[in-house]
Amino acid sequence: MSCQSRLILPRTNILPLGEMQIRRVADVWLIVRAQDVHQRQIISRGTHMNDMALRDRTFGEALPQQAFRITVKLWFSVAAVGHWIFLLYILAAFFPPIAEHGLEGLKGSHLPSGFVEGDTFGNLTSIIHVLLAALIIGGGPLQLIPAVRNSFPTFHRWLGRSYLFAAVSSSTGGLYMTWARSPIGDAFTNLGISGDAVLIIIFAAFAVYHAIGRRIKQHRRWALRLFMAASAVWFFRVGLMGWTMLTGGIGIDWESFTGPFLYVLGFAQYLLPLAILEWYFYCQRQSTPRVLVTFSATLFVLTAFMTFGIFAATMGLWLPRM
């Protein structure tokens, strides 16, 4: 029995192997990543198909790749559901009173500076801010779903433009609300969320710049950074409620809405998701098994906490106000 028949391989020149393919080119067997076949990205090569080490290595590399993909998909699915619960809350809590009372729509709402007597400009800013929030929170995850992007490219383009406009306008309005109107927090918490506003504006500019230049890879990266920064307010609520349910609210002074935990969370709400995103980009470039496994394990733990935080925010913040 030949060594090739033992592995049931010889009748074909291409064999699928999970994320990998084994291809015979002349007399040499190459193990290549299936999606990169056109780039001939060679993972390993050998002349004997009974080379068990070669096969083990392939499996050894395919599994971390698979763990990486599954964990990223899991993270995204949980995040998308969490965003859409927040969207339901925004639609239920703000849209009906604004539709009914116009500029006085936020009067008597739970927002400390949602309505200020005599401040027409500020009240309008607050109203626009919460209305645009629906577009940002509801539209962000939709933009990242490949099926939506591929099947409805025109919708993707228009939602993308609206999302960019909404994110930049909300951030500019948010800066005004934070420094001129909001009575909660202090200079340090204000600095935290202001950093987010600045990053949103910068990321949006880069996403547009690369989209205009048709540099799709770079555009995608900046759009993902923008998504993380524009969703910081969602991460904040999920982190805050997850922490509160877990620890009873250590490091939070609820009266003034300040305290060590809120100072950290004020920056972590965007810096942590952005750091994980950069690590994700790195994994796509340097996909050694060890890097992929470490990333997947970390993201899995963060996803577990995020799920817990979404539950806590839904029960503690959003459902009671719907």
Question: Out of 21, 58, 71, 171, which residue is the one contacting ligand HEM (CB under 6 A)?
Answer: 171
Q: Does 19 bind ligand HEM (CB under 6 A)?
A: no
The rounded distance, in Å, linking the Cα atoms of 66 and 247 is 34
At residue 207, what is the residue type? A
271 touches ligand HEM (CB under 6 A): no
Alpha helices in 146-247, H assignment, sequence order: 146-151, 153-176, 187-212, 216-230, 232-247
Selected from 32, 49, 54, 90, the binder of ligand HEM by CB under 6 A is 90
| Residue closer to ligand HEM (CB basis): 85 or 193 | 193
Which region among 61-69, 76-84, 189-197, 245-253 touches ligand HEM (by CB under 6 A)?
189-197
CA distance 15 to 23: 6
Q: Which two tokens stand for residue 4?
A: 């090739």
Q: x/- binding map, residues 134-153, to ligand HEM, per CB under 6 A?
A: --xx----------------
65 binds ligand HEM per the rule CB under 6 A? no
Find, among 10, 135, 68, the residue nearest to 289 by Cα: 68
Given the complex with ligand HEM, which of 32 and 177 has the nearer CB atom? 177
Among 62, 164, 207, 233, binds ligand HEM (CB under 6 A): 233
The nearer residue to ligand HEM, 193 or 223, going by C-beta atoms, is 193
Paired with 253 in beta bridges are 258
> Which residue of 44, 194, 218, 287 would you call a contact of ligand HEM, by CB under 6 A?
194
Q: Does 160 bind ligand HEM (CB under 6 A)?
A: no
Q: Figure out which of the listed residues 31, 87, 159, 200 binds ligand HEM, where binding follows CB under 6 A.
A: 200
Query: Residue 148 carries which side chain, given as an amino acid letter?
Result: V
Put residue 108 in one of left, alpha, beta given phi > 0 → left and psi -120 to 50 → alpha.
left
CB of 182 within 8 A of CB of 106? no
Nearest-5° Cα angle at 17, 216 to 28: 95
Instruction: Provide the CA 119 distance to its chain's centre, in angstroms.
Output: 35
Judged by CB under 6 A, the stretch of 7-15, 35-43, 192-200, 220-228 that binds ligand HEM is 192-200
Binding residues among 117-136 for ligand HEM as defined by CB under 6 A: 126, 129-130, 133, 136
Kindly tell me which of 96 and 112 has the beta carbon lying closer to ligand HEM. Answer: 112
Residue with the two structure tokens 């080379």: 51
| Least gap, CB of 110 to ligand HEM (angstroms) | 7
